[in-house]
Amino acid sequence: MIARLGGLMLLGLLGLAACLAVAVSLGSISINLLELDDVTRAILLDIRLPRALLGACVGACLASAGVAFQALLRNPLADPYVVGASSGAALGAALAFLLGLTSVLPLAAFAGAVGAMLFIVRLARIGGALPVDTFLLAGVVVGSFLWSLVSFMLTLARQDMARIVFWLMGSLADARWSQLPLILPYLVIGLGGLYYGALSLNLLTLGEEAAIPLGLPAERAKLWVLLGATLLTAAAVSVSGLIGFLGLIVPHLCRGLVGPDHRLLLPAAALGGAMFLVLCDTLARSLRPGLELPVGVITALLGAPFFFWLLYSRRRLT
């Protein structure tokens, strides 16, 4: 176990370093890395590097939150946005745009995501328990309600509409050094917390009926997992908007590679998500020089066919 984890981490970190190197060397202009001047150095260090590192953090947050939600809800369709965090964040962001408070946009999105999640948990708790089905249902209903509020605001905010929609599509274009301290603590605490509870996650995937006799205080464990995953999602959304697909697909890909044990799956997904988003964002900003593509388009365009191939090759095996 320890040896496998060590090997995985080493391989993953090397891979991530390689991805970061690729991300820093490519962009909308070509730079000779051997002959740097003041301007090209500023492009590498103040534009590309913070953006690549932010992408790595966001990818790690979303993928590990996806793992946690899939385990918690015992649902392969779950992703970080399945239970209202995205609509809450969207509402917070739309409000910030509408009130002209764009400087506190990350804070508004973060508060929206966490607030929506707290409300849903409050709504879905019956007695001391949080039944998974009720929770999902409450999440979907509250999510739809919040989205309708966002749509309503969009119709009010005619001239800001394009900006809000662009934000909703997800982008790392706003990346800068000062954003890394905003997301890193949540990544460390959230991922660390989830990893600490990895064995509980293993038991939760078996279902509560199985987990409780095996000694898991299921209700408390669920709340902690939920808190960790929510913080990870909210932190990612606050700096990058809604980047879709990654949180759904990377957990599945990694489960195929390292198996369902969360002690391996969580770090694998975090590293895999980081690499995946760094590469997708590199494509997003270099494919059409001068005109950036939304990174969410790339994550879906690249991720979906890869996923098809994975499903297809599995089907042939069985």
Partner 1 sequence: MRILSALLALALLCSCAPAPRATTPGPAQRIISLVPSLTEVLFSLGAGPRVIGVTANDHYPPEVEGLPRVGDMAPDYERILALQPDLVVADPGMQPREITRLRELGLPVLSLPSQSLSGLRKALAELSKATGTEARGQELQGQLARLKPPPGPGVRVFVEIWDKPLMTTGGGTFVDELITLAGGRNVYADRQQYPSISVEDLLLRQPEVIVLTVSQVEEARSRPGWDRLAAVRSGRIYRMEPDLLVRPTLRLPQAVEQLGGFLSP
Closest to partner 1 by CB, 173 vs 257, is 173
CA distance 51 to 277: 11
Q: Which residues bind partner 1 (CB under 8 A)?
A: 13, 16-17, 20, 27-29, 38-43, 45-50, 53, 56-57, 102-103, 105, 155, 158-159, 162-163, 166, 171, 173-174, 176-177, 180, 184, 188, 285, 289-292
Sign of the CA dihedral 291, 297, 301, 303? positive
Query: Which lies closer to partner 1 via its Cβ, residue 159 or residue 318?
Result: 159
Q: Which is nearer to partner 1, 100 or 213 (CB)?
A: 100
Give least dist CB 306 to partner 1, A: 25
Q: How far apart are CA 116 and CA 124, in angstroms?
A: 12
Q: Among residues 57 and 225, whose Cβ is nearest to partner 1? A: 57
**What minimum distance in Å lies between the beta carbon of 289 and partner 1?**
7
Closest CA to 197 of 104, 9, 205: 205
Which residue lies nearer to partner 1 by CB, 143 or 296? 296
Q: How far is the CB of 29 from partner 1 (least distance, A)?
A: 5
SS3 for 126?
Answer: strand
CB of residue 162 vs partner 1: minimum separation in angstroms?
Answer: 6
Shortest Å, Cβ 8 to partner 1: 14
Is the Cα torsion angle 224, 70, 237, 124 positive or negative in sign? negative
CB of 121 to partner 1, least distance (A): 29
d(CA 94, CA 166): 11
For residue 256, give every residue at least 6 positions away whose Cβ sits within 8 Å of its Cβ, in sequence order, or none: 310, 314
Nearer to partner 1 by C-beta: 42 or 129? 42
- CB count within 10 Å of CB 198 equals 18
Collapse the DSSP code of 217 into the 3-class scheme (helix H, G, I; strand E, B; otherwise coil) and give the result: coil
